[in-house]
Structure 1
Amino acid sequence: MKFKDLGLAEDILKSVESVGFEEATPIQEQTIPLVLAGKDVIGQAQTGTGKTAAFGLPTIQNIDAKKEETQALVIAPTRELAIQTQEELYRLSKERRLKVQAVYGGADINRQIRILKKNPQIVVGTPGRLLDHIQRGTLKLNHVKVLVLDEADEMLNMGFLDDIESIIKSVPNDRQTLLFSATMPEDIKRIGVQFMKNPEHVQIKAKEMTASLIDQYFMRVKEFEKFDILTRLLDVHTPELSIIFGRTKRRVDELSRALESRGYKAEGIHGDLSQQKRMDVLKAFKKGELDILVATDVAARGLDISGVTHVYNFDIPQDPESYVHRIGRTGRAGKDGMSVTFVTPNEMSYLQTIEKLTKKRMTPLKPPTKKEAFAGQMQSAMEEIAQKLENTDLDRYVKQADQLLEQYSAIDLTALLLKVVAKEDINDIPVKITPERPLPAGKKQRSRRHDRYKDRRRHDYKDHRKTKERNGKPKGKGKAKNKNKERNFTIRQK
């Protein structure tokens, strides 16, 4: 369906045309008329389906551009998503010249306060920083007409439920509320009942959410095999742009360093990096200066990067709902994508839970052999050589080339060139990949709806109890006490 058929104003349609949108996506087609009509909406859709425009276009149309007051508030789980949402809303509202501001942690709060004093019509922010501004009195919400909760399930997974409820209670009751989430755990359903007025439900079915254009594979591997198998996959697949997901920040750091030492153009992002560093890495990835982005779930949430052809789940997600978000990084805009998930033997139950959620079976994949990986390296090397031959002026090297051809055969020289370009020698460089604790086996999966710190304490206690039982000594006596302390300390550092 065309945007002009959805009831949007002419100036809004002009903005739509200027950003290159042509036909509305299913979530846009179903959501925009409802929002224009003033309805509360619960939309089940993942990142990459066009939901920002789905709530953004009608919200922009309903805002009074003449009034310099905050009329729309968008809550997003991460800084990256807040920034990207702000940028897209700014582009979509260019014809109406609305002021759109993003506020998030890790940035200068005094600068944000100065900007908020100018009363931007739309504010996009992360829960913690929004609540900070509300409590300081620097964010005025008494004129807010539209409240948007974007990627609500992820905000719950990150432990923001209390913050979200506090923010909702700070907004006028006569507002319009729009909630978007890839999945619908019970806490999100409760928000819909408690804080929304007869919401309309728009759902993109699970099989559509995981996208028919994404070929989904799994590979049964042992922990110590993962890195070598990953590099072979990269050599065989030769992805244009790929994202590798690790479970922890340490995993991301070690993977990105190991890949770089083996000659791959890779960098990692996670929550401990500065905002500037993360933005620099993402900019390099978008420009093609990096081939591989290694990321944690939270750091990659909401990334809007076109051209990602492959997603590798180096660690299967503990929360099966995160799988939907991970593979949503590829298979966009009608292009094919591929995902490969590594599964250790005791993690097969997690694979089954994911398949139940997505209503799609993953195809088993055999690890590539060294011979297949070598063939992939050679193919990439030949393509690189061919490209450089077409785009490089070689006149100044011809004399020396003739001298070499007098001493060596053309075949030997070409073989050496392939070896150098393929960087085969660096394949044996040792790397450090610390084994991660395997996920608990044989336990029923559930959404991580509790506060993240409470989950951490419960996990530590269980491990403490198991350590005590293994040692067979009561707590607080002799070496067993020291071992317990050391064990718990190690877990908390993860």
Structure 2
Amino acid sequence: MTTFKQWGITPALLDILDKQGIVKPTPVQEAAIPALLSGEDVIAQAQTGTGKTLAFLLPIIEKIRVDRSDAQALIITPTRELAIQITAEARKLTNAKEGLSILAAYGGQDVERQLRKLKSGTQLVIGTPGRLLDHLRRGSLKLGSIKMLVLDEADQMLHMGFLAEVESIIRMIPRSRQTMLFSATMPDNVKRLAKTYMDQPKDIRITETSRVTLDSIQQIVVEVTDRGKQQALIEMIRTNRPYLAVIFCRTKRRASMLNEALQEAGFASDELHGDLSQSKREQVMRAFREAKLELLVATDVAARGIDVEGVTHVFNYDIPQDADSYIHRIGRTGRAGEKGIAVTFASPRDIESLRLIEKGISARLERPGGSSSSKTVDRARNVSASRDASRSERGRTKSEAGGRDKFRRGESKDSSRGRRNSTSGSRDDRSGGQGGESRVARGGEGRGPAGPTDTKRGPGGQSKPDGYKRGPGGQGRPDSVKRGSGGQSRPDGAKRGQGGTRNSGSDRGVRKGR
């Protein structure tokens, strides 16, 4: 069996890996790490969740010199989330080298803090193209000493339109560097980038692992109309009971609207997209990782970089644009040998896109119905039940569970007040009788027997539509405002009896004397 030790990895690094339970290299690590340690350029194609991050971090940490304060390695990522994730993984390895400094440079973070850290010296920089260019223009980041360059998720980086920025950064780095390019897919523009800026790279393709990753995920398509999609999603969530789920939408607006609808339905959900501040995005991801949220509604900005343990389901609320995007989305579940469920909602206009996705993955997605329907539901429930059991084994605290349950019940102050109003209103309906004095009226004459259902009449008063009340000589007022003698108008649901005690009442059927 291949081990990290046989590659001459520093014992301190081996100890850190051992404490994390990392003993055997994954296929991409086994193929890439020896080549990177020997200084070769590497272009590696492997699916997300296969250990690519450690495949380039381990050689970088091993080769960085801590006796120098200049930047020696640069990792470029397409999204903030991925930069944060890689930085977190790198920090786990820093104890192996005292004095190793890491900087995460991405938009939305305090620039002054980044400037101070760059001034004091940092050997490893991890960042997004926009913020890296900002530092280069300021002169706060120098790339003249870079010996190792990583382009992570290169296909997504180019798909997001960062080609010009990436090339601008590469041109500022000495040609004598070692270049590592990691990508889940290998479209033509990525191949051209590699040919232009890499020196006889070793080509690594872990295609069988990609197949295993997909095989660990049950893939379902639900054919719906656009109008019925939201209700279909809610029913699927209630049926499948995911432990953690990511729901992908096409646009930021749709993600926000869907998140609002899910919260109103009583689910513990939040949204993740580019319009949020960095602090809010970090807050949302922290809550999701800690299982304080059950559902994360996201745009494709989150398709790369979300590596959260316990994601049992992925819902494609809006169908992905192509097979590659589909693979990246559903790769949030079924990770590290676990099983997962991926549900794609397809309207009639999505059928052609669905056909292309199925062709791209060389598989047909399951259609619920017939004998397969019950199996689909059973398997979904089994995945969630397995996750619930593993949550107990990991010792999730009762407070976290209680927080989610409270969120699901949706017991807001407004809804509680609404229930009290309804209850009090029912009592008030029964309180007004012939010649009686209503509990909610202030010091007036009791009203006689009620007239027809839609009218009320006081002594000498005129018939009025339902919702208007009149005492002797009084003026009709909308039902949303009631006034006792000498009293002040009160908002709907708040009446004041004699003595100033406010009672809650319903909007209809309150008979009171004046």
Corresponding residue for residue 66 of structure 1: 67
State the 1:197 CA deviation: 0.4
- 8 Å CA contact 2:219–2:341 kept in 1: the answer is yes
Which amino acid in structure 2 is aligned with residue 148 of structure 1?
V
Corresponding residue for residue 351 of structure 2: 348
- 2:48 pairs with 1:51: no
Counterpart of 1:129 (choices 131, 136, 140) is 131
CA RMSD of aligned residues (A): 2.8
- 8 Å CA contact 1:142–1:172 kept in 2: the answer is yes
- 8 Å CA contact 1:210–1:358 kept in 2: the answer is no
- 8 Å CA contact 2:268–2:408 kept in 1: the answer is no
State the 1:423 CA deviation: 6.3
Which amino acid in structure 1 is aligned with residue 46 of structure 2?
A
Mapped partners of 1:296, 1:421: distance in 2: 23
Which amino acid in structure 2 is aligned with residue 38 of structure 1?
G
SS state at 2:189 partner:
helix
Mapped partners of 2:41, 2:257: distance in 1: 45
Mapped partners of 1:135, 1:180: distance in 2: 27
SS state at 2:311 partner:
coil
SS state at 1:43 partner:
strand
Mapped partners of 1:123, 1:424: distance in 2: 43
The structure with the largest alpha-carbon Rg is 2
Corresponding residue for residue 175 of structure 1: 177
Structure 2, unmatched stretches of 5+, are 399-405, 416-514
Matches within 5 A, 1:297-312: 297-312=300-315
Matches within 5 A, 1:192-231: 192-205=194-207, 207-208=210-211, 210-231=213-234
Matches within 5 A, 1:10-409: 10-97=11-98, 98-205=100-207, 207-208=210-211, 210-366=213-369
- 8 Å CA contact 2:107–2:278 kept in 1: the answer is no
- 8 Å CA contact 1:215–1:338 kept in 2: the answer is yes
State the 1:421 CA deviation: 12
Identity %: 47
Q: Structure 1's 131 and 423: CA in aligned 2 closer, same or farther, altered over 3 A?
A: closer
Q: Structure 1's 421 and 14: CA in aligned 2 closer, same or farther, altered over 3 A?
A: closer
Q: Structure 1's 109 and 266: CA in aligned 2 closer, same or farther, altered over 3 A?
A: same
Corresponding residue for residue 484 of structure 1: none
Which amino acid in structure 2 is aligned with residue 112 of structure 1?
Q
- 8 Å CA contact 2:268–2:407 kept in 1: the answer is no
State the 1:422 CA deviation: 9.1
- 8 Å CA contact 2:267–2:407 kept in 1: the answer is no
Larger CA deviation: 238-247 vs 106-115: 106-115
Which amino acid in structure 2 is aligned with residue 282 of structure 1?
M
State the 1:27 CA deviation: 1.1
Larger CA deviation: 19-28 vs 102-111: 19-28
Which amino acid in structure 2 is aligned with residue 163 of structure 1?
E
Mapped partners of 2:60, 2:410: distance in 1: 55
- 8 Å CA contact 1:19–1:92 kept in 2: the answer is no
Mapped partners of 2:123, 2:289: distance in 1: 30
Which amino acid in structure 1 is aligned with residue 167 of structure 2?
E
- 8 Å CA contact 1:6–1:29 kept in 2: the answer is no
- 8 Å CA contact 2:326–2:357 kept in 1: the answer is yes
SS state at 1:93 partner:
helix
SS state at 2:174 partner:
coil
State the 1:328 CA deviation: 0.8
Corresponding residue for residue 456 of structure 1: none
State the 1:71 CA deviation: 0.6
Mapped partners of 2:68, 2:9: distance in 1: 21
Mapped partners of 2:212, 2:326: distance in 1: 11
Mapped partners of 2:29, 2:132: distance in 1: 27
Mapped partners of 1:293, 1:19: distance in 2: 27
Q: Structure 1's 40 and 239: CA in aligned 2 closer, same or farther, altered over 3 A?
A: same
Which amino acid in structure 1 is aligned with residue 158 of structure 2?
L
Mapped partners of 2:122, 2:136: distance in 1: 15
Mapped partners of 2:410, 2:174: distance in 1: 63
Mapped partners of 2:275, 2:294: distance in 1: 22
Which amino acid in structure 2 is aligned with residue 68 of structure 1?
S
The C-alpha deviation readout for 1:216-242, integer Å capped at 9, x for no partner, is 111111111111111111111111111
Which amino acid in structure 1 is aligned with residue 162 of structure 2?
F
Higher share of residues assigned helix: 1
State the 1:210 CA deviation: 4.2
Mapped partners of 1:355, 1:69: distance in 2: 48
SS state at 1:224 partner:
coil
- 8 Å CA contact 2:108–2:279 kept in 1: the answer is no
Q: Structure 1's 425 and 267: CA in aligned 2 closer, same or farther, altered over 3 A?
A: closer
State the 1:88 CA deviation: 0.7
Structure 1, unmatched stretches of 5+, are 393-419, 430-494
Give TM-score scaled by structure 1 length: 0.73
Which amino acid in structure 2 is aligned with residue 312 of structure 1?
F
Which amino acid in structure 2 is aligned with residue 328 of structure 1?
G
Mapped partners of 2:269, 2:190: distance in 1: 36
Mapped partners of 1:47, 1:421: distance in 2: 32
Which amino acid in structure 1 is aligned with residue 321 of structure 2?
Q
Mapped partners of 2:410, 2:154: distance in 1: 46
Mapped partners of 2:260, 2:47: distance in 1: 30
The C-alpha deviation readout for 1:399-457, integer Å capped at 9, x for no partner, is xxxxxxxxxxxxxxxxxxxxx9996999xx9xxxxxxxxxxxxxxxxxxxxxxxxxxxx
State the 1:254 CA deviation: 0.8
- 8 Å CA contact 1:6–1:33 kept in 2: the answer is yes
Mapped partners of 1:116, 1:334: distance in 2: 39
Which amino acid in structure 2 is aligned with residue 218 of structure 1?
V
Mapped partners of 1:18, 1:67: distance in 2: 28
State the 1:204 CA deviation: 2.0
SS state at 1:70 partner:
coil
Give TM-score scaled by structure 2 length: 0.71
Matches within 5 A, 1:457-468: none
Corresponding residue for residue 442 of structure 2: none
State the 1:3 CA deviation: 2.2
Q: Structure 1's 422 and 159: CA in aligned 2 closer, same or farther, altered over 3 A?
A: closer
State the 1:85 CA deviation: 0.7
